[in-house]
Amino acid sequence: MTLPMVVRDDTLPAKVTIYEVGPRDGLQNESAIVPLEAKAEFITRLITAGLPIVEATSFVHPKWVPQLADAAELVAQLPLDGPTPLPVLVPNARGLDRALEAGCTHIAIFGSATETFAQKNLNSTLDDQFAMFEPVVARARAAGLDVRAYVSMCFGDPWEGAVPVEQVVATGSRLLDLGASQLSLGDTIGVGTAAHVGALIDGFGAAGIGVDRLAMHFHDTYGQALANAYAALRKGITTFDASAGGLGGCPYAESATGNLATEDLVWMLTGLGIEHGVDLPALVETSVWMAGVLGRESPSAVVRALG
């Protein structure tokens, strides 16, 4: 398989962790229900391809995200005690009960930087979301679980327009203060551009939150995801969310399309000589197989070039 020539830039991080979200963010927006066996196989193949962490599903209300209503049955088929963490999204106490019952060891809460999206995605106000998450994080941590926090609409919101950096930093800081180990900054609708990414990371830095506690979560609606990832790399970010084959989108965010494709990210990191641990041919094969399951071609340029 063709691979890029490696030209190392020593000003960039030597190693990056790819946080794979394909089975969760990638599939949550699919209207036709993907069979449980295909979801389990997708996750197994991603683990085999070397993804160091794979977000598996969500314990949200099944009516809100019907595609992931089978979360408990799916998780029952997964190697939860294996070396690859398999986090699940949890919005509230009921979700945590279900995740604990299923034996999950890693969860992720997901907050909103804007009022409108908090209401549309969580049926909560911006302020009330913290009251919903606080007991979830406390109880999860007391049970020994790792808790990640997402903040959505970090760059723009389809209803409210541009979102000020200070508003995102304020929301993200409150989520971290609850006890989350990492904050993933979501460009839910993909409107961010490179200098904005730098400004946001700098904004967190000025608030005392360094790059070691941040991850970036880019959607590729306007084709900016990879450029934005490069901008974040230049700022020293070392955790990137990505979705195999570029699947994805949020059902409650108008104009949200696929995530940054894991293959596109892996291609760039490989060329930059940055260690990522992912077997690109095995990953491409997985995405080609999943495109067959979903009945349409992958939007990833790298999958289309290599698949």
Partner whose binding site includes residue 92, from ligand HMG, Mg ion, none (CB under 5 to 8 Å by kind): ligand HMG
In the annotation, is 250 catalytic?
yes
Interface residue with ligand HMG, options 39, 148, 217, 235 (CB under 6 A): 217
Interacting residue ranges for Mg ion, rule: CB under 5 A: 25
Spell out, one character per residue from 242 to 281, where the chain touches ligand HMG: x when CB under 6 A holds, - when not: --------x-x-----------------------------
- Subset of 120-159 contacting ligand HMG (CB under 6 A): 121-123, 150, 152
Q: Is 30 exposed, middle or buried (0-12, 13-18, 19+ CB in 10 A)?
A: middle
Residues 79 and 27: their CA atoms lie apart, in Å, by: 20
User: In Å, how far are 107, 132, 194, 209 from 181, measured between CA atoms?
Assistant: 11, 18, 25, 12
Partner whose binding site includes residue 112, from Mg ion, ligand HMG, none (CB under 5 to 8 Å by kind): none
186 part of the interface to ligand HMG, by CB under 6 A: yes
67 part of the interface to ligand HMG, by CB under 6 A: no
Query: Other C-beta atoms within 10 Å of 201: how many?
Result: 23
Interface residue with ligand HMG, options 87, 95, 111, 246 (CB under 6 A): 95
Catalytic choice (47, 215, 225, 250): 250
Partner whose binding site includes residue 61, from ligand HMG, Mg ion, none (CB under 5 to 8 Å by kind): ligand HMG
- Supply the DSSP symbol for 67: G
61 part of the interface to ligand HMG, by CB under 6 A: yes
* Smallest separation (angstroms) from Mg ion to the CB of 250: 6
- Supply the DSSP symbol for 87: -
The nearer residue to Mg ion, 264 or 307, going by C-beta atoms, is 264
DSSP assignments along 210-274, one per residue = -GGGEEEEEB-TTS-HHHHHHHHHHTT--EEEEBGGG----TTSTT--PBPBHHHHHHHHHHTT-
Interacting span for ligand HMG (CB under 6 A) from 92-100, 171-179, 284-292, 293-301: 92-100
Tokens found for residue 243: 């979705």
Interface residue with ligand HMG, options 19, 20, 23, 25 (CB under 6 A): 25
286 part of the interface to ligand HMG, by CB under 6 A: no
Residues 99 and 90: their CA atoms lie apart, in Å, by: 8
State the alpha helices, DSSP H only, in 103-250: 115-122, 126-142, 165-177, 194-206, 225-234
Residue 117 CB partners (closer than 8 Å, separation 6+): 152, 153, 157, 159, 188, 252, 253
* Smallest separation (angstroms) from ligand HMG to the CB of 81: 24
Number of helices and strands in the chain (H, E): 11, 11
Residues of the shown chain interacting with ligand HMG in the complex, contacts defined by CB under 6 A: 25, 28, 58-61, 64-65, 89, 91-92, 94-95, 98, 110, 121-123, 150, 152, 186, 188, 217, 219, 250, 252
Residues annotated as part of the active site = 250
